[in-house]
Amino acid sequence: MWRGACAASLFTGPRRRLRRICWRGALAALATAYDLTGDVTYLDAVRESMDYLLGRNSLNQSYITGYGTVFSENQHSRWFAAQLDSRFPHPPAGSIAGGPNADVPTWDPTIAALYPDGDCAPQHCYVDDIESWSTNEITINWNSALGWVTAFLVDPDAPVVEGSVGGGSAGGLWLVATIVALLATALVWCGIRRRGAHSPQTPGGEPLAAE
């Protein structure tokens, strides 16, 4: 029942919110279930979900920038906006896209224009376009979950230390990733507040395309 369950709910469920909930908790819950029980069914589910993200899906595309032969690189972002202006960079390696979104009422104009009848297959409702915020957004909450799960998969049999944040070497990686992510977010936010940049501009001063 659990085998591949998260990958299935993550990208074929009817609502985008389900994908977010799964990334925030379900993979970590499956990993924790393996830690507690040693049942490889849970470990297989985490691995298969990661396989999906890295390209074993109906689009044959990795949703993690820089990993795989074909991968997302134009995620919705005001800073990593190379698709709109070559003076900006693409998202850094390891950035995860939101992924397919079959919930038609939540679509942005970009994906809606590709499927005006809303008739795409659930795992095909995706486009690697910076303007497609409903399928191609990058967020700290998704990337922090990716960091946690990646750390777990590096050494799934690392000993769990009672009272530790995450246990073993995986827990250390998780803690470091979390601290770095929080510091990066704080620095970006302080920079925005300092510039009063509620409507970010390109390096030349031109307004960036609106969402």
Give per-residue pLDDT as tens, 51-96.
Answer: 999 999 999 999 999 999 999 999 999 899 999 999 999 999 999 9
Q: Does 170 fall in a domain?
A: yes
Distance CA 13, CA 18 (A): 7
Q: By C-alpha distance, which of 181, 158, 178 is closest to 169?
A: 158
Is residue 208 in a domain?
A: no
Question: CA 131, 134, 139: angle at the middle one, nearest 5?
Answer: 90
As for how many domains the chain has, the answer is 1
pLDDT at 111 exceeding the cut of 60: yes
- The answer to whether residue 164 scores a pLDDT higher than 80 is no
Residue 170: which domain range? 5-195
Packing angle, helices 140-154 and 40-53, rounded to 10: 130
Asked whether residue 41 is domain-assigned, the answer is yes
Tell me the pTM.
Answer: 0.69
Mean pLDDT, rounded, of the chain: 77
Q: How confident is the model at residue 9 (pLDDT cuts 50, 70, 90)?
A: very low
Highest mean pLDDT among 104-108, 163-167, 168-172: 104-108
Judge whether 174 and 148 are in contact, CB under 8 Å. yes
3-state DSSP assignment of residue 201: strand
Q: So what's the pLDDT on residue 66?
A: 96
Residue 186: pLDDT above 50? yes
29 Cβ contact list (under 8 Å, min separation 6): none
Residue 132 main-chain phi, psi, to 5 deg: -90, 80
* Residue 201 within a domain: no
Residue 146 sits in a domain whose CATH number is: 1.50.10.10
* Residues 129/61/14/39 CA torsion (nearest 10 deg): -140
> Which tokens is 178 given?
């979390």
Question: Per the domain annotation, does 209 fall within a domain?
Answer: no
Question: Would you say residue 210 lies in a domain?
Answer: no
Mean pLDDT of 134-157: 91
Report if residue 204 sits inside a domain.
no
Cα distances (Å, whole numbers) of residue 99 to 47, 54, 76, 83: 18, 12, 11, 18
For residues 193 and 85, the model is more confident at 85
Q: Which single residue is written with the structure tokens 């970590």?
A: 28
Question: Over pLDDT 90: what percentage of the chain?
Answer: 53
Is residue 206, in this structure, part of any structural domain at all?
no
Band of pLDDT at residue 145, cut at 50, 70 and 90: confident
Coil/strand/helix, residue 101: coil
